[in-house]
Homo-oligomer: A and B are copies of this chain.
Amino acid sequence: MKNLTITAPKGFLAAGLHCGIKASGKPDLALLYCPNGAAAAAVFTTNKIVSAAVTVCREHARSGRTFAAVINSGNANACTGQKGIADAQKMCQTSAELLGIRPEQVLIASTGIIGHPLPIQTVCEGLRKAAARLGEGAAAGLNFAKAILTTDTKVKNAVRTVKLNGKTVTLAGTVKGAGMIGPNMATTLCILTTDAAIRKPLLQKALRTAVDQSLNRLTVDGHQSTNDTAMILASGLAGNRMIQKQDGAYHRFETALTELCLDLARQMALDAEGATRMFTVVIEGAASAAEARQAARAVANYDLVKCAVHGADPNWGRIICAVGSSGVRLNPEKLTCKIGQITVFRNGQPARFDPKKVSRIIAQKEHTITVYLGAGIHSDFCMGCDLSREYITINADYHT
């Protein structure tokens, strides 16, 4: 079996198990170990309130060398005060002791309910088991992927390879998505591995670019959480010449990383809370790059558009309404909208089209909505998903 998990790149061991945070008995603790050490990079939520895990991870991501990452699900360890910070530190410290490394060489992330203290004893006991179960194969990677999930219905893994100086470099990643996914942030939790040899500052740059072009262009409900973290560990074992500057090898690596993250983002959209399908909004003819992005996001976030997509309803009026209220410049006489390849609104006037045909396009797993603003030359995109009754069910009763 081909390994399509985060243990695919050379130099990584993983484990995932149920330690006891989740009452459901589902996996809730994940450990990644890179025995030879890795260059690491991370990006975080821009929410002003961040979890203890984010506070600690930001600090640890500055280390020159990273050997491990520990992730728990079922509890966000956010809004938990000083105890929260101590608990996050304890998670890193325990992992470090078990692996014979220093606490600051461990990255950390948490996801789950906000405001509840972490059962830290339970977590530390779980870590002991996880360290004992660390494995190299696909099964270990899959256990890791399962243990970071919350309301996700599926594990989300992706792998890419790229040739650098004749050597095959592998990149892999896993995400947890579902809800609280806004495009103005790192993302939900995303753990990436690669065996590329690359300097830490360039790895950070590549991660930022890749996330910006993928996870930052996905919106489920426009929300960013207190815990969003994307991290990458690069073991350097692929044998490629160390990437030291923004040369051709760097750009091929960055492109592969972006494609990997786009793949993960699409999996997140399709597995968003209650989602049955996804769509990509493409804005063309915007007066500025920022306005293109703003308009794309506004349409993808618009509840009424999301409901129409859920009903496979060619209600283009809501798309036009969303664009009009997004605050961007547009020319009403030139405004044009396509669903798939079918023009539904042309130069400010309704176009003739077969509603059944358009409905069938929307009913697919994925479709594209294109809006031409007629105000300039800039374009951008944003991915979104439909809004269903299931989203409400999931989110109305999550806490109690």
Contacts and interface: CB of A to CB of B under 8 A. Distances in A.
A396 interface: yes
A248 to B, nearest CB: 38
Interface in A194-251: 221-226
Nearest to A319: B114
A329 B48 CA distance: 8
Interface in A343-389: 345, 348-350, 355, 359, 387-389
Is chain A's interface secondary structure helix, strand, loop, or mixed overall? loop
A330 interface: yes
- How many copies of this chain sit in the oligomeric assembly? 2
A395 B322 CA distance: 15
Nearest to A117: B350
A78 interface: yes
B395 A308 contact: yes
B114 A47 contact: no
Contacts of A117: 350
A226 B323 CA distance: 11
Given A303-B222, A320-B79, A313 B397 contact: yes
Contacts of A184: 325
Contacts of A49: 320-321, 323-324, 330, 332, 335
A189 B380 CA distance: 34
A81 interface: yes
Interface in A35-90: 45-50, 76, 78-81
Nearest to A328: B48
A307 B273 CA distance: 13
A324 B226 contact: yes
